Amino acid sequence: MTARDETESLWNSGLEIVRVLYSRGHEAYLVGGSVRDRLLGRSLHDIDIATSALPEEVTAAFNRTIPTGLKHGTVTVFEGGRHFEVTTFRTESGYSDARRPDRVAFVRDLREDLSRRDFTINALAVGVDGELTDPFDGRRDLRDGRIRCVGDADRRFGEDALRMLRAIRFAAEFRFSLSLSVWRGIRRQAERLGLVSMERVGAEWDKMMAGSDPDRACGLLARSGLLSCVKEPLPEVVTAGPGGLTVRGEEWPHGLRCLREIGDTDVRWSAFLAAVGASPEEAGALFRTLRFSGRRESRVTAAVVFQRRMESSHDRASFITAILDVGRSAARDWLDMQAEGGRFRDWLAELTVDTMGQLAVKGDQLALRLDKPAGPWVARLLRYLLGEVAHGRLTNEKAKLLKASEEWQDAEQ
């Protein structure tokens, strides 16, 4: 099934849920991001439904449901092999933690429900007849390429501080502008981002880095000052570095590609950190603070190490030594960061060994040949032999490696 067919199938399954609720006397609509993305011609990945039906009425209308969040009026409905979140029309109030409402009240009016949403382009609804409900001119903002809050921006960001990051993410993803009221609201409410968990901050920033224009996202983040207001301090090189370099499309420094030209999200992170001059320690600290996995931290840190190793020298010997020290996968990521890398790719393809396990001789064989008990010297010798083979000064043959090990021992004494 093509992406377009999948989108149509998902949309029609959502409308079927709307029809079932409508047939039982309830109002129901497809709402939010799915309506926005359909108007923009983008693929759909999930669909949310808002209804006048209370949670128990939604549960009674379908065979398979899960009470996902009854406190907030949400029931998960299974239809056509997919799941949909169906939520009762509601209002929200009392955001004491700057993230979640303290009180939720169910209402019967769609407009009341749409009025609590963050941006006009998300306050859209489509009913059983296919007609668009757009009380805040979200469709016009989609046409004009503008991010605008529903109502007062300061109030919206005061309710949920994460919306400030979402505004930047949407602006970058859709290549929209931020309205003046949104930008001023971000600058005035930035300190409230300190109330939001680092996991949430990290998730939003990660979505920006995986999106269609991470260069612009990083530029807007740098100009907004939001990264200086988060709950736990980020490395200064990230908050005060030249993160806005590409906001007008300039290339990143050090011969790095623009982030949007890089396919892998973690390689984008590596290129960004290299561009702002982050050290491997700062890269690791950032990933830990944003609560990213240790696996991702190790990968990105290795690429930053590789970048630093190659800044001072671009010859073949330095490249191969860096591979032996940091790893072939880090070399691949580093190459994907580069605007130019043809000769390095050739050198990498020509490299037949890059780990000691690929050598034609093992540690116990070296100990037997040299008649010495195993010890730290074995690892040093294997690393020496690896370097000799990788640089082409020695062939990877057992006899030649054993002979070279004897010469190494003589030189060591």
pLDDT of residue 99: 58
Question: What CA–CA distance (Å, rounded) separates 88 from 19?
Answer: 16
Under 8 Å between Cβ of 290 and 283: no
Share of the chain above pLDDT 70, in %: 94
Q: Is 48 helix (H, G, I), strand (E, B) or coil?
A: strand
Question: What CA–CA distance (Å, rounded) separates 153 from 147?
Answer: 11
| The residue to which tokens 């690791």 are assigned | 284
CATH, range 1-138: 3.30.460.10
Question: What CA–CA distance (Å, rounded) separates 46 from 35?
Answer: 11
Q: Interior CA angle at 337 toward 332 and 343, to 5°?
A: 60
pLDDT of residue 247: 40
With a cut of 50, say whether residue 248 has pLDDT above it. Answer: no
Q: Which two tokens stand for residue 99?
A: 């993230």
Question: What CA–CA distance (Å, rounded) separates 208 from 259?
Answer: 11
Q: Which two tokens stand for residue 235?
A: 């490395």
Q: Which two tokens stand for residue 98?
A: 């700057």
Q: Kind of pairing, strands 48-51 and 82-88?
A: parallel
Question: What CA–CA distance (Å, rounded) separates 153 from 186?
Answer: 8
Report pLDDT digits (tens) over 267-293: 999 999 999 889 999 999 999 999 999
Q: Interior CA angle at 352 toward 348 and 354, to 5°?
A: 75
**What ranges do the domains of the chain cover?**
1-138, 356-412
Under 8 Å between Cβ of 32 and 122: yes
Q: What is the mean pLDDT of residues 309-333?
A: 95
Under 8 Å between Cβ of 47 and 10: yes
| The residue to which tokens 């995986």 are assigned | 210
pTM over 0.85: yes
CATH, range 356-412: 1.10.246
Under 8 Å between Cβ of 274 and 255: no
Question: What CA–CA distance (Å, rounded) separates 386 from 397?
Answer: 12
Pick 266 or 314 by higher pLDDT: 266
pLDDT of residue 312: 84
175-189, 233-247, 351-365: the lowest-pLDDT one: 233-247
